[in-house]
Structure 1
Amino acid sequence: MISHKILRVLRTADKLPRCNSNLLPRFASNVPNTSLNNKRKTTQLKEMINSPKLEFIMEAHSGLSARIVEESGFKGIWGSGLAISAMMGVRDSNEASWTQITDVLDFMADATSVPILLDADTGFGNFNNARRLVSKLEQIGVAGCCMEDKLFPKTNSLLDGRKQDLANIEEFALKIKACKDRQKDPDFIVVARVEALIAGWGMDEALRRAEAYRNAGADAILMHSKKSDPSDIEGFMKVWKNQGPVVVVPTKYYKTPAKDLADMGVSMVIFANHNMRTCITAMQKTTARIFKDKSLVGVESEVASVKEVFRLQRDDELIDAESKYLPVK
């Protein structure tokens, strides 16, 4: 039970305007982002979270992949903890420190003009670790973070048969409040990820936690499910009754049409790990072929050209800069 004292603290947190699910249409156009680039990245992400249209962000795990996501037309990027840790060759169990994660995010933010929402796991510790992370993210230009209500070190939600220990609801709510109190940019986004359905604690507990975190100041709720159908999400949206923006990650229920999620009232969809998984498949195929053939002939036409690598690295900007800043010999 949440004490009356805690409830009074939580209810003093500032509230953002509630989104209106009755506004239609709910699909955001997938257009180039040049019209948004004059706004702060935090403002861009805040507007996406609170948009009456269903918005989409895509996973990236490096400066290069982040740039590719932006070039494809996505208006935002998901800095996936699973993907970043996988590309480091470690498990998604907080084996990479928060400073190692933010080092990667620093390159990603520099490489792009669209906002990044970081998968910040549990905040890498208690409220103090979490609020220090928020300060660092603001410094490097990351627009928001998503924290899940599990214990540190976390266990990946999609692991089969693995116990998922949840945080104390009061402590996690106050962790969210500490993050919102610490941020300097009013548009910085903190998303509270509810793991009650993942842990098998049921819909009543999921709703209780979501309401507590929203009252603590969370800008949105991420409701997570590993069912192969969207019944968990549909059930939650019915009892949530549009109390605030809801984010989903349809990794397991990937066959669900976007229109169905929009009709439920979902605010944002995260495509959470497919660039990382694509890299694995492509590297396994290419490496096996080269090992077998002892030659590059069979793969050269199937991989990006070196010229394309240079383009993505923006070598043209360096050439222009050299003409300005190096003496003519």
Structure 2
Amino acid sequence: MKSTRESDNDRLKGRSISFDEPLFFMEAHDGLSALIAEHTGFKAIWASGLSISTALGRRDASEICPAEMLRVFERIAEVTTVPVLVDADSGYGNFNNARLAARKLAQYSISGMCIEDKLHPKMNSFVGSGQALADAQEFCGKIKAIRDQGLGNFAVVARTEALISGLGMGEALDRAAAYLDAGADAILIHSKRPDANEIFEFLRQWEGRCPVVVVPTTYYQTPASELIRAGARGVIWANHSIRASVAAMKKACESIREQGGVQHLESNVESLGGLFKLLDYEELASAEKRYLPPMGGVRA
């Protein structure tokens, strides 16, 4: 019988995260949004803490317990075949919480986890004017603890919030270098500026020491092609499915309430046929023919 560690490694084969080519991650917050991301051509999924919290009606402020988050991550990985990178906040606690979460995620065939150097409980990066960061050496301990689990191709992405917190470029570069030395596979550099200037400066000074992932949420007017040319190896569209769905649901609810029906809405929503195709109802019909007796025979 294979050990648990060997089994985890086997599950990750074929779903490992590689930055040999630029990789674009689409946000998902449940099984359906993950399916849509894959079916529309995305080669990687970002399981977003903000989006999952929002979908569950909670704030992105560690209001969802880790066990509940893990159930959503498991569902996303279960229904997709592309790599899934989990937004694991600050690792759900100290080094022990982080390494336990990593082992569980690997069992679910999750491809990697991204942890950020903020204190636990965390608050969303775009709320408030500034947030305290964790001690850099303590955060390095979390990275080492995850790496020491021997999870094979399981990726560890270290996210620094130094620019978000206003600590400056030097602090961001120093932290990134320390996290790389601790065993991170990639660095996520975050910014809340409306332009990408400090991201470009970080990439220039980093000089490609390891893959860098960026999240153009506030600097959305910067084309991804420019970020890639500047040296980014990964781009995360971090919350766009949930924001699009919120806008669409609000519009649909308002239309039904105001119109007293759905006659003005039907042409603007997904057809039932489209839903059935996305969820592969044809496979179920085929399986029924194979495994169930003919109609009129014995039924379960």
TM-score by length of 1: 0.84
Summarize the alignment of residues 172-251 of structure 1 with structure 2, pairs less than 5 Å apart.
172-184=139-151, 186-251=152-217
User: Of 11, 17, 22, which aligns to 1:46?
Assistant: 17
User: Partners of 1:207 and 1:102 in 2: how far apart?
Assistant: 31
Q: Which moved more, 1:269-278 or 1:313-322?
A: 313-322
- Does the residue aligned with 1:182 lie in a helix, a strand or coil? coil
Aligned counterpart, 1:82: 50
- Does the residue aligned with 1:227 lie in a helix, a strand or coil? coil
Contact 1:221/1:244, CA 8 A, preserved across alignment = yes
How far 1:305 moved relative to its partner? 1.2
Percent identity of equivalent pairs: 48
The number of aligned residues is 286
- Does the residue aligned with 2:147 lie in a helix, a strand or coil? helix
Q: Which moved more, 1:318-327 or 1:205-214?
A: 318-327
How far 1:248 moved relative to its partner? 0.2
Aligned counterpart, 1:323: 289
For each residue in 1:159-216, what CA deviation from the matched residue of structure 2 results, as whole angstroms up to 9, or x when unmatched?
Answer: 242x3110011000010010111142x1110100000000011111111110110000
- Does the residue aligned with 2:172 lie in a helix, a strand or coil? helix
- Does the residue aligned with 2:157 lie in a helix, a strand or coil? strand
Aligned counterpart, 1:70: 38
- Does the residue aligned with 1:46 lie in a helix, a strand or coil? coil
- Does the residue aligned with 2:243 lie in a helix, a strand or coil? helix
User: Of 147, 152, 161, which aligns to 2:120?
Assistant: 152
User: Partners of 1:297 and 1:87 in 2: how far apart?
Assistant: 27
User: Partners of 1:202 and 1:109 in 2: how far apart?
Assistant: 36
User: Partners of 1:79 and 1:41 in 2: how far apart?
Assistant: 17
Aligned counterpart, 1:97: 65
Structure 2: which 5+ runs fail to align?
1-9
Residue 135 (structure 2) pairs with residue 164 (structure 1): no
Q: Which moved more, 1:166-175 or 1:234-243?
A: 234-243
- Does the residue aligned with 2:51 lie in a helix, a strand or coil? helix
Contact 1:59/1:77, CA 8 A, preserved across alignment = yes
Query: Measured at CA, do residues 40 and 138 of structure 1 come closer, stay the same or move farther in structure 2, by a change above 3 Å?
Result: closer
Aligned counterpart, 1:310: 276
User: Partners of 1:273 and 1:263 in 2: how far apart?
Assistant: 23
Contact 1:54/1:266, CA 8 A, preserved across alignment = yes
User: Partners of 2:35 and 2:12 in 1: how far apart?
Assistant: 15
Query: Measured at CA, do residues 104 and 227 of structure 1 come closer, stay the same or move farther in structure 2, by a change above 3 Å?
Result: same
Contact 2:118/2:161, CA 8 A, preserved across alignment = yes
Contact 2:98/2:146, CA 8 A, preserved across alignment = yes
How far 1:41 moved relative to its partner? 5.1
TM-score by length of 2: 0.92
Contact 1:85/1:96, CA 8 A, preserved across alignment = yes
Contact 2:84/2:111, CA 8 A, preserved across alignment = yes
User: Partners of 2:38 and 2:150 in 1: how far apart?
Assistant: 26
Counterpart residue type for residue 17 of structure 2: K
Structure 1: which 5+ runs fail to align?
1-38
Structure 1's consecutive aligned runs of 4 or more residues displaced over 6 angstroms after TM superposition are none
Residue 267 (structure 2) pairs with residue 301 (structure 1): yes
Aligned counterpart, 1:124: 92
How far 1:307 moved relative to its partner? 1.8
